[in-house]
A = this chain, B = another copy of it.
């Protein structure tokens, strides 16, 4: 793959050298229906050809260094595998072909350790059966949102010039990267389904077939974002009322045609009654009615509906402090718990607003025990620096996946059946615009597989694969840049959980940009204080959506964590935090320190000069300069805004304008 014009990311040839030097047996005598065993054989063959090892016959496995075998009777969970070393042979047993593929990449990750006699025996299986990336790619370039909505890495790798690309070689390379990270589903188009994209379901289905063919060898099934209005806009019906039999028939016919063309099709992703997209509300139906009509069409084929819970009033009145967008998903969906069909998954953004740096975890995740849920994350850095800022997302995702809604050991990972994220990939040479944002894509798949992995270990894994054989200083520099990068970004942007101080396009500061907007994202700053009162006692009552102990914890100013203070409470600028600092001094200090930290990061990167490939070095260097500039702008605007409103000087004497 190294001769391709795109970066090798975490699968450079050198990462395969440890196994490529060995004698390997692949024993996949079991039925290779999906062709995944063939993929593994081809990978092994390529690796040994590059590095001088040998692919041996399955009957000769006694002398092999590595045996990769499928055994359906080994009692392993789907996609799972066991690994152990004995008598000089590392033996990997997978319960199915998918497990074989994941086992292969596990061996790649282990590198030489896979052939160390001290290798401990272990068994592996994914925590989440569905580990999905949603691509918000448009087939046609959209007037306002471009080709990839919220995409910061160039155009789509799927589409160009208004159609699926002729050459899907790169999609295959992408699928391989995903398989190596653990992702097994991809939704291939934007949840805001525009005119051309809607037709992927019908007369443009051939485009989806070709994408599915490219993903299939890597165990990745494709899903499609569809418009709830498709029976009208594509089918010519006079309604899309989910309880209308003609509508159900239309969906059944459409789905039958899809499965006829793509037997392993994954299902639909639907954004309904949200930000202008059509939905069941128009017919007085609820979201269970809406989701179930699609689910019943998909059920005979094993398909799934991922139904997004991102439903709120986006024509809110900024004058109205009682309506709270944060309440909306819970208020709309929890009354429907138990009414969704078995193959519906309600897809919930991790926080009640919109992928902010710091929000409380959505209380809806704890409130629908009778419903399959998916946790929705963003790998694309919409609010987190747009792949111009270093922001290592696993630090945030770990926190989210491990959060305990009842503080009793049960985690978000336990209640969310599926884990889904919006992709950060485009046709940029480095896939993700910022080369270091590859670590986020990699980390997403790995955490979706095993949410208990530590961000530090994941980073080391990614560095080891991406920069094999590099000077050890590279790892040290990358640790310095990425670990703590989420905290740094939080320091210089919206403080204390207040959210949404972004400007147009969600990049850069715009403290008041959303303050008088219809979007429901306000901070209510005045000369005395700032923050949103979401308490039951005097505010919107959002805090009561949580189970105990969190409802009480968030409700009280005495117990609410500082980093969520302004999400739950409106306080004076002089309110004293647990740190002993006032809110305003905290804002001054964190913004000064956060921006200063970006300067240190830029300096630190210079230590990698000559140790990584020059174009990667230069790209990161250029982007760090932009991060420094942008962080300085955030610092000055937020500090000045607080100064102009509060009139309180900075104890440390930094500049205020």
Contacts and interface: CB of A to CB of B under 8 A. Distances in A.
Contacts of A657: 318-319, 321
Contacts of A513: 513
A339 interface: no
Contacts of A633: 516
A80 B513 CA distance: 54
A509 B526 CA distance: 18
Interface string A507-529: 00111110010000000011110
B511 A647 contact: no
A432 B341 CA distance: 55
Nearest to A648: B527
Contact of A509 (B510, B516, B528, B646): B516
Contact of A647 (B510, B525, B526, B637): B526
Contacts of A655: 319
A284 interface: no
B644 A516 contact: no
Interface in A340-357: none
Contacts of A636: 319
Contacts of A318: 657
A335 interface: no
Contacts of A637: 516
A5 interface: no
A504 interface: yes
B644 A527 contact: yes
A170 interface: no
Contact of A512 (B504, B512, B528, B647): B512
Given A509-B516, A511-B512, A516-B637, A527 B645 contact: yes
Interface in A282-326: 318-319, 321
A41 B653 CA distance: 79
Interface size class of A (residues with CB under 8 A): 20 to 34
Nearest to A643: B526
Interface string A85-107: 00000000000000000000000
Contact of A645 (B319, B511, B526): B526
User: Oligomeric state, in number of copies?
Assistant: 2
Given A511-B512, A512-B511, A516-B637, A646 B319 contact: no
A645 B645 contact: yes
A519 to B, nearest CB: 13
Interface in A441-476: none
**Main DSSP-derived SS at the A contact region:** loop
A516 B632 CA distance: 13
A258 B386 CA distance: 49
A588 B511 CA distance: 24
Contact of A527 (B504, B640, B647): B647
A175 B512 CA distance: 46
A312 to B, nearest CB: 20
Contacts of A509: 516
A526 B639 CA distance: 13
A617 to B, nearest CB: 29
A200 to B, nearest CB: 26
Nearest to A509: B516
A512 B525 CA distance: 13
A644 B525 contact: yes
A355 to B, nearest CB: 23
Interface string A372-390: 0000000000000000000
Contacts of A525: 644
A409 B634 CA distance: 51
Nearest to A513: B513
Contacts of A647: 526-528
Interface string A615-641: 000000000000000000100110010
Given A504-B504, A511-B512, A526 B644 contact: yes
A244 to B, nearest CB: 35
Interface in A226-272: none
Nearest to A319: B657
Nearest to A515: B512
A318 B504 CA distance: 18
A566 B512 CA distance: 21
A511 B528 CA distance: 19
A630 to B, nearest CB: 13
Given A516-B637, A527-B527, 20 more contacts: A319-B636, A319-B640, A319-B655, A319-B657, A321-B657, A504-B504, A510-B516, A511-B512, A513-B513, A516-B633, A516-B640, A525-B644, A526-B643, A526-B644, A526-B645, A527-B644, A527-B645, A527-B647, A644-B645, A645-B645
25 contacts: A319-B636, A319-B640, A319-B655, A319-B657, A321-B657, A504-B504, A509-B516, A510-B516, A511-B512, A511-B516, A512-B512, A513-B513, A516-B633, A516-B637, A516-B640, A526-B643, A526-B644, A526-B645, A526-B647, A527-B645, A527-B646, A527-B647, A528-B647, A644-B645, A645-B645
Q: Which 7 pairs between the two chains have the least Cβ-Cβ distance?
A: A526-B644, A527-B527, A512-B512, A319-B657, A516-B637, A527-B647, A527-B645
Interface of A: 318-319, 321, 504, 509-513, 516, 525-528, 633, 636-637, 640, 643-647, 655, 657
